[in-house]
Amino acid sequence: MVDRERFREGNHQYFAEVIRDYGRVVKAVCLSYAESEDDVSDLIQECWTLAYEKRHSFRAEGSFAAWLHRLTRNHCTDAYRSRTSRRQGLEKFAAMGAIQDLHRRTPSPAEELERKESERTLWNALDALPEKERDAIILRLIQRRTPGEVAEEMKIEKASVRSNISRGIKRLRGLIGGADK
Amino acid sequence: MTCPDVERLVEVALGQSADPELEAHVQRCEDCRADLLTIEALAGVGGPDREISEGLVSRIVAGLPKPEPRVRRTWGGGGQLLLTWGLGFLTALVSAGVTGSIGALDPGTVLMLATAFGAASVLFTRLNRRDRAPATGEPSRPRPD
């Protein structure tokens, strides 16, 4: 669990501990939005730097994983949008035959694209869940915390962790099913 | 078997437990199967390859901006406090003398106002005094022996 005061102080050594402890959630989101391996590392670094710069906006009431997830999602979505619009611009230009040699991006395998697309759908669905359900799912299934640790971080009972996960899963099924249609 | 608790499905999806009876139930129960598939999709997103390497942690930390020094307000030493208060007190007395208030006001009131002005000067100085203390992330300077 993150010590809010130490985190907000900005101690680099402590921040490294936080990165090791909560790295999964950031990497999981970045992998769904990055185009290549190098891109993943850059995106992860950008997200953590942003988390460092915005560390004072982390409030004690919410869970750290949820705060980090929100920040990472926002950053990755912005980066993805700007990259997509940049590429669309390039495609238009290339179609005119002007800079075809600049447009050298190797397309990813179809399966990889499909995986990323489904993961993005999943992240969107997760975002639509009520806060407690989303936090419980992120902590238990993505951060791989034990039910006890989730309860401690969310300051709720273990039984509530289970009911939040259960309700969240049912709701996600509906959301993902709806997205497929 | 009745439908299991969600935590048991989570444990199976995360590979933390194997339960043949539960797996058989999931094959028969459509609701539990849909739950398990959703849980597995989420567990896949946070899979084992999602750990961050030590090299990347070092790279991230090396690229972080330095923590800004913490601003700490101090009162200063006793001598400084007394001097500030005395100057404030004198300023108030001189002002009262110049404006002719000393003759017009009761001496007790003048003394009280001057004392209050001295105290206000101390408070004002304290609010404007900011000593920079190194934040915990910064390396401290070695002390001379």
Residue A44 CB: number of other CB atoms within 10 A?
25
Q: Which residues pair with residue B131 across a beta bridge?
A: B72
Do the Cβ atoms of A12 and B43 come within 8 Å? Answer: no
Pairwise CA distance, residues B93 & A108, whole Å: 82
Which residues 73-102 of B have a C-beta within 8 angstroms of A?
none
ipTM over 0.85: no
CA contacts within 13 A on the Cβ side of A7: 23
- B26 vs A61, which has greater pLDDT? B26
CA-based nearest distance A90→chain B, Å: 31
Give me the average pLDDT of each 10-residue run along chain A (181 residues): 84 92 90 82 92 87 85 88 60 42 49 79 88 92 90 91 94 75 43
Strands B70-73 and B130-133: antiparallel
Do the Cβ atoms of B10 and A140 come within 8 Å? Answer: yes
Pairwise CA distance, residues A70 & B39, whole Å: 20
> Looking at residue A85, what is its pLDDT?
57
| CB distance A130 to B35 below 8 Å | no
Give the count of Cβ contacts less than 8 A between chain A and B: 113
Position B44 pLDDT exceeds 90 = no
Pairwise CA distance, residues B9 & A165, whole Å: 11
> Looking at residue A146, what is its pLDDT?
92
Name the helix (H) or strand (E) containing B2: none
Who's near A180: CB < 8 A, 6+ residues apart?
none
How is residue A64 written in tokens?
């750290």
Q: Which among B5, B10, B135 has the least Cβ separation from residue A9?
A: B135
Chosen for mutation from A24, A138, A141 (greatest number of chain B CBs closer than 10 Å) is: A141
Lowest mean pLDDT among B23-32, B47-56, B81-90: B47-56
Domain A108-181: CATH class, spelled out: mainly alpha
Domain boundaries, chain A: 1-106, 108-181
Q: Which among B13, B34, B60 has the least Cβ separation from residue A19?
A: B60
B85 pLDDT band, cuts 50/70/90, is confident
Pairwise CA distance, residues B64 & B69, whole Å: 15
Chosen for mutation from B51, B59, B64 (greatest number of chain A CBs closer than 10 Å) is: B64
Position B69 pLDDT exceeds 70 = no
Name every chain A residue with its beta carbon within 8 A of the beta carbon of B10: 140-141, 165
Q: What is the dihedral of CA A83, A88, A91, A92, to 10 degrees?
A: -140
| CB distance B52 to A19 below 8 Å | yes
Do the Cβ atoms of B14 and A144 come within 8 Å? Answer: yes
Taking CA atoms, what residue in A is nearest to B10?
A: A141
> Looking at residue A35, what is its pLDDT?
78
- Fold topology of A1-106: Rna Polymerase Sigma Factor; Chain: A (1.10.1740)
Pairwise CA distance, residues B135 & A9, whole Å: 7
Residue B68 CB: number of other CB atoms within 10 A?
11
Q: What is the pTM of this model?
A: 0.65
Residue B129 CB: number of other CB atoms within 10 A?
13
CA-based nearest distance A152→chain B, Å: 17
Q: What is the dihedral of CA B33, B35, B38, B40, to 10 degrees?
A: -70
Q: What is the DSSP string of B38-97?
A: HHHHHHHHT-GGGPPPHHHHHHHHHTSPPPPPEEEE----HHHHHHHHHHHHHHHHHHHH
Chain A residues with CB within 8 Å of chain B CB: 9-16, 19-20, 23-28, 31-32, 41, 44-45, 48-49, 52-53, 118-119, 122, 137, 140-144, 147, 162, 165-166, 169-170, 172-173, 176
